[in-house]
Structure 1
Amino acid sequence: MPGEDQTITMLKFPVLIGDIGGTNARFAILVDAYAEPKEFPIVQTADFATIDEAIQTAILDRTSILPLSAVLAVAGPVDGDEIELTNCDWVVRPKQMFSTLGLEEVLVLNDFEAQALAVVALGPEHMEKIGGGEPEPAAGRVVLGPGTGLGVAGLVHARHTWIPVPGEGGHVDIGPRSPRDFEVFPHIEKIEGRISAEQMLCGRGLVNLYRAVAKADQTTPRFSTPAEITSAALDNSDATAGEALDIFVTCLGRLAGDLALIFMSRGGVFLTGGIAQKIVPALKNGRFRAAFEDKAPHNDLVKAMPVYVITHPLAALSGLAAYAQTPARFGVEMEGRHWVNA
């Protein structure tokens, strides 16, 4: 039952770990606390009606290893025995997994908690620095990532443990600042009258921005996907796409700077996900960093804070693996998110 066990000294191995986003789901199995994760092909969430079906078909049917525990990171708030994903039709039902998948223990985290854990698990070889000074080793950190949606989490250090702080920071309000913003923003698609950060800073958000720039200029958009827009912007073949990516990068810098102040992120700000990895050249052209540091009266404070792009393709799985192997290293909240088949 949720909340019965507030600490885990060690999960029962083998452990299934999974990072489930709005579009893709990534899984691996840890045979024991010392083994490297056994990875499986990425699953498209749209290809399966349920997460149980996806795990059975894409993972369990392809291995002789039978996991006893699962640590799953999902894109959405974890609340109750039926956990709905924000940008996917799957519903995670941990109690049902006992009978359908043969599991004895299930822990469900927010997907960006896993990304926050990855910040500690990954080394500098998996980071691309975007300005700033040197990180303070035990200082607060924040991770954000534009993907199918916009995820945000904090990471604080206390009592010799790293504590991930989940939330729904991708849904904060975001508004115009520059004269050009006031021309473009009225054309951005709204949700019940408001523009949230996720309406701009994710895959569909980039498309929203691109269409808004085209409407502001009374031109006809040529592209319909984030990949097309990003490609055209980076190779300078389409001015509208280029400006859309510039606004995207600038607004991402503003939001990252806001979050850096909220979490006092002297340990660094970390950008994760496929979009951030694909637009590193745009993130390094100066616009992001200028927007990030434009936080008067605290410009000098954020100027010293380093920003990194996480370049590891399976960062969240690395974070989940680190937790499963050394849970005492992390202060992960268990209440209401941990189920044991008693």
Structure 2
Amino acid sequence: MPDRPLKSWPYTPAPDLVADIGGTNTRVALADGGVPRQGSIRKFPNKGRGSLTEILQQYLRETATTDCAGVCVAVAGPVRDGVAQMTNLDWTITAEDLADVGGTHRVAILNDLQAQGYALRSLDPRHVRQLLPTGPAIDGGTQLVVGAGTGFNAAPVYHFSSGTQVAASECGHIHLPRHGEREEALARHLAALHGIATVEEVLCGRGLEALHRWVSGQDLSGAHLTAAIAAGDPRARETGALYASIMGRTLATLALVHLPFGGIFLIGSVARAMSPHLADLGMGAAYSEMGRFSSLVQSFPVAMVEDDYAALLGCASHLAGLTA
């Protein structure tokens, strides 16, 4: 009987392991070539877990993954010298721990906003919605990702021939804009409470609720407040208009710092909840009110990112750009 040639099976390299760690849940996925593997995303509650390592090890067991080409995680907190300390969890995440879990030295820890920045060039256009009628984005131009959720922050995204770089920052703690008597009064109120009036204390989730309390004397959750804005409630829309104005001025200020001709991209739960109303409530007018620089500011496109898994995509994209 003649020998039959052996069938040549395609070689499948080890996947990358990527994770997006929030205060409540952690999303984990496998990725190939900078793209999360379809059907691989799983969500794990953080409550009752002693560390991120427990979750990643469980994920690898459940997906029968034994080898990882690289590991990259995005964390809701500051990262310094390869170590992340979670803000709302008693977890410390180190590059050494990730290397042990994945069996690889190709590891990275990103701030969650950095991960969102690395995702921008790979986003499906269907998941990006334009908010203001500004000029077109310039391909390869600097971009700015702005997060409004549990906190507020922004990060510039630079594209070089050698790859993309996203700079970490703490933009949420810059001074609150003070345009007109009402914003001056709000700033004085916040300074009395916190020692300084910052944009985060208005534009994040607790800030939106505190803003409504200051405007109306009412205590409403963010979800009830945005529902009331959508329903046309006058006091809620008064709060929404002040929020939209401060958001517009903050975006314009950051835009003149970074010159994001590639576009400004809002992310985060609060930004998403407010995004259907921001233009109607006057964000565009406040954004454009920059004196002789108004026309320059209007050349920076402003959009909303509506992809829940963009941070995983950003981790995968970042790993793809690292050498082994």
Report the TM-score when normalising by structure 2. Answer: 0.85
Contact 2:177 2:250 in 1 (8 A): no
Q: State the Cα distance separating 1:134 from its structure 2 match.
A: 0.6
Corresponding residue number in structure 1 for 2:66? 66
Corresponding residue number in structure 2 for 1:271? 266
Separation in structure 2 between the aligned mates of residue 102 and residue 162 of structure 1, nearest angstrom: 24
Separation in structure 2 between the aligned mates of residue 240 and residue 103 of structure 1, nearest angstrom: 56
Separation in structure 2 between the aligned mates of residue 276 and residue 49 of structure 1, nearest angstrom: 31
The 3 A distance-change label for structure 1 pair 128 and 322 is same
- Computed over aligned residues only, the root mean square deviation of the Cα atoms, in angstroms, reads 2.6
Corresponding residue number in structure 2 for 1:166? 168
Q: Which of 200, 212, 219 in structure 2 is aligned with 1:210?
A: 212
Which digits, 9 at most, give the CA deviation of each residue in 1:221-253, with x for residues without a partner? 242x2212211222223x333222222222111
Report the 3-state secondary structure (helix = DSSP H, G, I; strand = E; otherwise coil) of the residue aligned with 1:204.
helix
> Is 1:235–2:236 an aligned residue pair?
no
Q: How many residues align?
A: 309
Separation in structure 2 between the aligned mates of residue 79 and residue 190 of structure 1, nearest angstrom: 31
Report the 3-state secondary structure (helix = DSSP H, G, I; strand = E; otherwise coil) of the residue aligned with 1:182.
helix
Q: State the Cα distance separating 1:183 from its structure 2 match.
A: 3.7
State the structure with more CA Rg.
Answer: 2
Report the 3-state secondary structure (helix = DSSP H, G, I; strand = E; otherwise coil) of the residue aligned with 2:176.
coil
Corresponding residue number in structure 2 for 1:334? none
The 3 A distance-change label for structure 1 pair 271 and 160 is same
Which amino acid in structure 2 is aligned with residue 62 of structure 1?
A: E
Report the 3-state secondary structure (helix = DSSP H, G, I; strand = E; otherwise coil) of the residue aligned with 2:79.
coil
Report the 3-state secondary structure (helix = DSSP H, G, I; strand = E; otherwise coil) of the residue aligned with 2:291.
coil
Q: Which of 291, 298, 307 in structure 2 is aligned with 1:312?
A: 307
Separation in structure 2 between the aligned mates of residue 315 and residue 33 of structure 1, nearest angstrom: 12
Contact 2:108 2:319 in 1 (8 A): no
Corresponding residue number in structure 2 for 1:290? 285
Which amino acid in structure 1 is aligned with residue 309 of structure 2?
A: L
Corresponding residue number in structure 2 for 1:6? none
Report the 3-state secondary structure (helix = DSSP H, G, I; strand = E; otherwise coil) of the residue aligned with 1:321.
helix
Which digits, 9 at most, give the CA deviation of each residue in 1:280-326, with x for residues without a partner? 22122151111111122210101121111111121111222223335
Gapped regions of structure 1 (runs ≥ 5): 1-11, 329-339
Corresponding residue number in structure 2 for 1:331? none
Q: State the Cα distance separating 1:33 from its structure 2 match.
A: 5.9
Contact 1:29 1:67 in 2 (8 A): no
The 3 A distance-change label for structure 1 pair 254 and 326 is same
Contact 1:270 1:308 in 2 (8 A): yes
The 3 A distance-change label for structure 1 pair 24 and 250 is farther
Contact 1:21 1:75 in 2 (8 A): yes
Corresponding residue number in structure 2 for 1:22? 23
- Identify the range of structure 1 (311-320 vs 24-33) with the bigger mean alpha-carbon deviation: 24-33
Which digits, 9 at most, give the CA deviation of each residue in 1:102-155, with x for residues without a partner? 532321112111111111111322211122011111211111010111131101
Contact 1:14 1:66 in 2 (8 A): no
Which amino acid in structure 2 is aligned with residue 79 of structure 1?
A: R
User: Could you tell me the percent identity over the aligned residues?
Assistant: 28
Corresponding residue number in structure 1 for 2:8? none
Which digits, 9 at most, give the CA deviation of each residue in 1:162-209, with x for residues without a partner? 222221112212143222223444444767501222111111111121
Which amino acid in structure 2 is aligned with residue 181 of structure 1?
A: E
Report the TM-score when normalising by structure 1. Answer: 0.81
Which amino acid in structure 2 is aligned with residue 199 of structure 1?
A: E
Report the 3-state secondary structure (helix = DSSP H, G, I; strand = E; otherwise coil) of the residue aligned with 1:155.
strand
Report the 3-state secondary structure (helix = DSSP H, G, I; strand = E; otherwise coil) of the residue aligned with 1:112.
helix
Report the 3-state secondary structure (helix = DSSP H, G, I; strand = E; otherwise coil) of the residue aligned with 2:214.
helix
The 3 A distance-change label for structure 1 pair 26 and 282 is same
Q: In the TM superposition, what are the counterparts of 1:134-173 in structure 2 within 5 Å?
A: 134-159=136-161, 161-173=163-175
> Is 1:323–2:318 an aligned residue pair?
yes
Report the 3-state secondary structure (helix = DSSP H, G, I; strand = E; otherwise coil) of the residue aligned with 1:200.
helix
Corresponding residue number in structure 1 for 2:54? 53
